[in-house]
Structure 1
Amino acid sequence: MNRMDVSTLEVRTEPDGTVVIRPRGVVGEADVVHLQQVLVRTVRKVRPSRLVLDLTDVFRLDPIAAGTMSAVCGLGDDHGVAVFVHNPSEHIADQLSTAGVPVQRLRRTAAMA
């Protein structure tokens, strides 16, 4: 799996209403527009109380995608949606932090411990 496409971007809603978006593999430059559309639509139209970007299975992230995730954190704040990024690798966590994702939004879940 070299790039993200519809089959490698899972979107699900948990029983508590949390929307979990889980890309897999490489999130490259060609994937950014689709990812951005899904994230923005979820925040603006679905408006869950919490949105989780689960990056457990992402091993490379285009810098534009990192910037998109940072922007979605701010958009979520504007719309009352708490946005969190779960299980990024150490490298991707550094990349997201550099792009402006607040460190308190980056989390390791128990499944990864």
Structure 2
Amino acid sequence: MPEWLMNTRRLADGTVVIEVRGEIDLGNAERLRGALADTATSVRPVRVVVDLMQVTFIDSTGIGALAVGRNTARSVGAAFEVRNPPPFVRQQLRMMGLTEAFGVQG
């Protein structure tokens, strides 16, 4: 099982990028949910970008964490975007009807 990691960085334009690696599932979705909500409410960025390039799996709890992050970001006036979802993750988001809501390109 791949190790789960999350890295957060702030860009000069006020965007916060949260990079996730590994599986987003019941074991760590709550940590992601908390990080997204805390970032939106504490940092108040202009945009929250969640980079999923290194994510190998996502389940419904992980998708739920992204939804909470999106809703929290929007509630404080920040844009929200999911970037670089691998094919499996993109398919899961598409099946849930969330690609547009999450700003997934393509």
TM-score (norm 2): 0.86
Which 5+ residue runs of structure 1 have no aligned equivalent? 109-113
Q: 1:62 aligns with which of 59, 62, 66?
A: 59
1:22 positional shift: 0.5
Which 5+ residue runs of structure 2 have no aligned equivalent? none
Corresponding residue of 1:32: 29
Q: Residue 100 and residue 43 in structure 1: after superposition, are their counterparts in 2 closer, same or farther (change >3 A)?
A: farther
1:70 positional shift: 1.8
Q: Which runs of 4+ in 1 moved over 6 A?
A: none
Partners of 1:77 and 1:14 in 2: CA distance? 19
Q: Residue 78 and residue 97 in structure 1: after superposition, are their counterparts in 2 closer, same or farther (change >3 A)?
A: farther
Corresponding residue of 1:106: 104
> Is contact 1:67-1:99 (8 Å) kept?
no
Identity among equivalent positions (%) equals: 30
Partners of 1:100 and 1:69 in 2: CA distance? 13
Partners of 1:82 and 1:91 in 2: CA distance? 24
1:87 and 2:84 correspond: yes
1:66 positional shift: 0.6
Corresponding residue of 2:17: 20
1:93 positional shift: 1.6
Secondary structure of residue in 1 paired with 2:28: helix
Q: How many residues align?
A: 105
> Is contact 2:19-2:51 (8 Å) kept?
yes
- Please list the CA deviations of residues 25-50 of structure 1 after superposition, one character each: whole Å capped at 9, or x if unmatched: 11221101111110000011111000
Secondary structure of residue in 1 paired with 2:50: strand
1:100 positional shift: 5.0
More strand by share: 2
1:71 positional shift: 2.6
Instruction: Letter of the 2:58 partner, please give it.
Output: L
Secondary structure of residue in 1 paired with 2:81: strand
Partners of 1:96 and 1:70 in 2: CA distance? 11
